[in-house]
């Protein structure tokens, strides 16, 4: 089983796949539109991977973060959700948004996913409530920080125009046991240094 890929992006296609070359071998990886936008041709890439094996096919799904991969795997373990639908869910909602949607029972938000009607959305909300961890997977990655604090800092940084990948990378290096104001100040310091 393949767990991750580190290599060079050769090309990306409008069908939602990228060709990533690792040690001379090219892997076709299915990704979300957000992920595809970050995979610039000729640039280095690291992807967490779910290697989906069936009798008639092997498919690789790639993710920029572990929380996306865990969410994808949680979705495909849910009754009636295959890899295509799971990828469609993640293409519409980020893992943290999905956790909020499930926690609040927001049927309308789930019906925004192509192929998900009201009845399917209601069933998914019931099934996912027992499967998705609260707070979000991303918040667990910051040791000691409360989910609400990390979410507040993330929202503030998005409001300031930083991308999800920049924010994710910065929060990895910010101590989680501080308050939101301190976390925000330290994250801004890291982000400012990287952009300088």
Instruction: Tell me: pLDDT of 97 over 80.
Output: yes
Distance of alpha carbon 26 from alpha carbon 17, whole angstroms: 12
Enter the tokens of residue 11. 């090309």
The answer to whether 81 and 112 have CB atoms below 8 angstroms apart is no
Among the ranges given (13-17, 146-150, 190-194), the one the predictor scored with the smallest mean pLDDT: 146-150
DSSP reduced 3-state for 10: strand
* pLDDT confidence of residue 163: 79
Domain extent listing, the chain: 4-63, 67-129, 142-195
* pLDDT confidence of residue 21: 96
Residue with the bigger pLDDT between 145 and 188: it is 188
DSSP reduced 3-state for 135: coil
- Smallest CA-to-CA distance from 171 within 196, 195, 144, 132 is with 144
CATH superfamily of 4-63: Nucleic acid-binding proteins (2.40.50.140)
Instruction: Tell me: pLDDT of 80 over 50.
Output: yes
The whole-number average pLDDT for the span 6-14 is 94
Q: What is the CATH number of domain 67-129?
A: 1.10.150.20
**Mean pLDDT, the chain, whole residue set:** 83
């Amino acid at each position: 089983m393949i767990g991750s890929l580190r290599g060079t992006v050769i090309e990306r296609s409008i069908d939602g796949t990228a060709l990533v070359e690792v040690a001379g071998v090219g892997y076709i990886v299915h990704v979300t539109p957000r992920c595809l936008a970050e995979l610039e041709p000729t640039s280095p890439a690291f992807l967490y991977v779910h290697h989906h094996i069936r009798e008639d096919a092997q498919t690789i799904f790639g993710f920029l973060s572990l929380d996306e991969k865990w969410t994808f795997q949680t979705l495909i373990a849910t009754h009636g959700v295959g890899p295509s639908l799971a990828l469609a869910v993640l293409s519409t909602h980020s893992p943290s948004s999905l956790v909020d949607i499930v926690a609040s029972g927001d049927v309308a938000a789930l019906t925004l996913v192509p192929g998900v009607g009201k009845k399917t959305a209601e069933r998914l909300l019931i099934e996912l409530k027992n499967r998705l961890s609260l707070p979000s997977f991303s918040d667990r990655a910051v040791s000691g920080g409360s989910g609400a604090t990390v979410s507040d800092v993330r929202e503030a940084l998005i409001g300031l125009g930083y991308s999800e990948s920049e924010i994710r990378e910065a929060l990895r290096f910010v101590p989680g046991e501080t308050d939101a104001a301190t976390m925000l100040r330290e994250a801004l310091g890291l982000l400012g240094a990287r952009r300088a």
